[in-house]
Amino acid sequence: MIFQGANPIFDVGSLSYRDRFYLAVSRMFEGSQCLPEIMSQLEQQMEEKFYHPEKHIFSNEEEHLKMAMGEVQDSHLMQMISEDISRKDTELLRKHFLTLKEKYTDNTKYSAMYIKFVFSNLIQELFQEDQFSGERRLEHEIDRLYNCRNIMEILQVTEYNICEYEKFLERSMSESRNEVAVVKNYIYQHYDEDLNLETLAEKVYLSSGYLSFIFKKETGMNLNRYIRVFRMEKAGELLKNTNMKVAQISEKVGFSNVSYFCRSFREFYGRSPESYRKGTGENEESVSED
């Protein structure tokens, strides 16, 4: 479904994103007051979900995982697992592994050889990470799996490799704090510019998925959220400590659209820039954009 014209969803989207966009509505929601939270969820998916050249595809995987186990295609699950690994998303990796585990445990309609083939593909996906594969031998782990005598042994070998992968990521995380510090410092110095995950990842020579992973691990906040919070805090400081006009402050903290800045500010602080500057409550509804 494409929204155009006088529509609150279209208005919010067109002010937030410069590019043309298409929006599909998959569930009912009430009132435009829900939109900021919905758009915030969408922005998080933009950062943490599926990356494709020149295009973002956003998908909520919970619906896929609610399908009957017999209907979940292995190829689809393996594609999701591959994307989990590329984004270093161990939480979703565990969830998708559990889906495979539930599908094949005590299921006699699949041959032992086919089950080994499925889980060997998962292990091979883990070893696509060059540094991880450099520490251990893929051939050894595949041999271990094909020598398993039952499904429980297959699951144990697979889960062992997932655990080793998680440990590898934890070690990598401790070595990546410098990159996170560099990104944070760049944000502090360039918050008035157009900042996004891909641009910042290039600054520290990391993939966007890996930067997203280590940044959230280190700060407890995804990158887009971190940038928004820093910009709002800077805007609050400028309103309190300078006589700059709202439009100037909007540009100073990286917003090209003043109306969107004012809405974002009200969402963050619970009141308009004008009332924040005056120290008054939200009864002051008028917002000066001069």
DSSP string, 145-213: HHT--SHHHHHHHHHHHHHHHHHHHHHHHHH-HHHHHHHHHHHHHHTTS---HHHHHHHTT--HHHHHH
**H helices of 204-270, where?**
208-219, 223-241, 246-252, 258-269
CATH superfamily of 178-290: Homeodomain-like (1.10.10.60)
**pTM (predicted TM-score):** 0.50
Residue 230 corresponds to which amino acid? F
Q: In the chain, list all ranges with CATH 1.10.10.60.
A: 178-290
Residue 219 corresponds to which amino acid? T
Residue with tokens 């509804």: 285
| Closest to 138 measured CA to CA, from 150, 120, 118, 154 | 120
pLDDT tens, position by position, 154-205: 999 999 999 999 988 888 776 677 889 999 999 999 999 999 999 999 998 8
Q: What is the mean pLDDT of each run of 10 residues along the chain (290 residues)?
A: 48 55 61 68 55 41 44 80 84 92 87 93 86 74 94 96 89 77 94 92 85 85 93 95 94 93 93 88 45
Distance CA 162, CA 182 (A): 30
What lies within 8 Å, CB to CB, of 188 at 6+ separation is 230
pLDDT at 62: 47
**Cα-flanking dihedrals φ and ψ of residue 16, to 5°?**
-85, -35
pLDDT at 43: 64
- Helix, strand, or coil here: 55? strand
Residue with tokens 């991880």: 132
pLDDT at 48: 46
| Closest to 209 measured CA to CA, from 58, 52, 48, 56 | 48
pLDDT at 231: 96
CB-based contact 246:287 (threshold 8 Å): yes
The sign one gets for the Cα dihedral 12, 17, 20, 21 is: negative
The 10 Å CB-count burial string (b at 16+, else e) for 82-100 is: bbbbbbbbbebbebbbebb
pLDDT at 70: 45
What lies within 8 Å, CB to CB, of 38 at 6+ separation is 29
